[in-house]
């Protein structure tokens, strides 16, 4: 009985890693769509978001199967319940990755924005940081490692700092380029989506911390 539960738990963790990788790919494709401006990266992000939805549905059914067939208790029950919380945040991360990609044409067409080296660097760095947060938070669950979860929470400070830098840059730009208001607002929304992805990664990490403590 226990060996069967362990097999199902391993399958659950393996699929969480896959879903997390899909989320990372989606965010990265969205970033490429922003910086490079090629349509194929938008299509990749949209396609990956659909895969994330399918993965979320599969994991949800797997969790229900474990609960019904194995009837776990104590820590085992908490593990499965936490996994069900994690996939909600991961699914929303996928949605935001797709949304960023779909906003990328506004950014790429706005020369004042996509030729602003500092702006592009901040967005690229935000993408790197949120991907690192997401990876650490998911691995913290898979490995049951509270230190990885705490690392992910700490990285959120870097993401918030970059968001405020982008916001400040956009304020200065709108004073200079008053006719670029719409493009600036779209870029602020992109930065906000990245900041929210960081928040969802924190939610995942905090759920793991709660589980392990």
Taking only the tens place, the pLDDT of each residue in 97-144 is 999 999 988 776 555 555 567 778 888 899 999 999 999 999 999 999
- Mean pLDDT of all residues in 81-102: 97
pLDDT for the residue numbered 109 = 57
CA-based nearest residue to 79, from 171, 136, 180, 5:
5
- Mean pLDDT of all residues in 162-177: 83
Q: How far apart are the first and last CA of the chain?
A: 27
Cβ atoms of residues 107 and 183 within 8 Å: yes
For the record, the structure tokens of 73 come out as 């208790």
pLDDT for the residue numbered 170 = 84
Torsion of CA 21, 22, 24, 29, to 10 degrees: 140
Domain residue spans of the chain: 2-212
pLDDT for the residue numbered 72 = 84
pLDDT for the residue numbered 180 = 60
Judge: domain 2-212, CATH 3.40.50.620: no
- Mean pLDDT of all residues in 71-92: 94
Look over the chain and give the mean of its residue pLDDT values, rounded to a whole number: 90
Whether 57 has a pLDDT exceeding 70, the answer reads yes
Greater pLDDT, 173 or 163: 163
Q: Distance between CA 8 and CA 69 in Å, rounded? A: 10
Candidate from 49-53, 122-126, 148-152, 198-202 with smallest mean pLDDT: 122-126
- Mean pLDDT of all residues in 203-212: 96
CA-based nearest residue to 191, from 132, 134, 130, 110:
130
Whether 199 has a pLDDT exceeding 80, the answer reads yes
pLDDT for the residue numbered 10 = 94
For the record, the structure tokens of 84 come out as 């069900």
CA-based nearest residue to 213, from 164, 140, 152:
140
The label of the residue with tokens 């797709």 reads 98
pLDDT for the residue numbered 34 = 85
CA-based nearest residue to 213, from 142, 154, 147, 157:
147
pLDDT for the residue numbered 81 = 95
Whether 206 has a pLDDT exceeding 90, the answer reads yes
Whether 202 has a pLDDT exceeding 90, the answer reads yes
Per residue in 20-41, pLDDT (tens digit) is: 999 999 999 999 998 888 889 9
Cβ atoms of residues 112 and 177 within 8 Å: yes
By percentage, how much of the chain surpasses pLDDT 70? 92
């Amino acid at each position: 009985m226990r060996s069967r539960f362990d097999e199902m738990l391993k399958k659950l963790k393996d699929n969480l890693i896959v879903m997390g990788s899909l989320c990372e790919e989606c965010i990265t494709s969205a970033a490429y769509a922003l910086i490079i401006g090629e349509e194929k990266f938008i299509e990749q992000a949209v396609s990956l978001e659909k895969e994330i939805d399918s993965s979320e549905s599969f994991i949800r059914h797997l969790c229900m199967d474990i609960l019904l067939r194995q009837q776990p208790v104590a820590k085992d029950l908490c593990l499965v319940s936490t996994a069900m919380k994690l996939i909600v945040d991961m699914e929303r991360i996928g949605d935001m990755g797709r949304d960023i990609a779909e906003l990328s044409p506004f950014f790429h067409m706005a020369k004042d924005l996509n030729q602003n080296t500092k702006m592009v660097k901040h967005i690229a760095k935000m993408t790197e940081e949120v991907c690192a947060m997401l990876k650490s938070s998911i691995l913290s669950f898979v490995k049951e490692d509270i230190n990885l979860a705490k690392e992910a929470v700490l990285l959120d400070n870097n993401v918030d700092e970059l968001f405020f830098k982008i916001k400040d840059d956009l304020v200065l730009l709108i004073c200079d380029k008053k006719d670029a208001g719409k493009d600036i607002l779209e870029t602020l929304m992109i930065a906000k989506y990245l900041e929210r992805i960081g928040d969802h990664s924190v939610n995942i990490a905090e759920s793991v911390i709660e589980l392990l403590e």
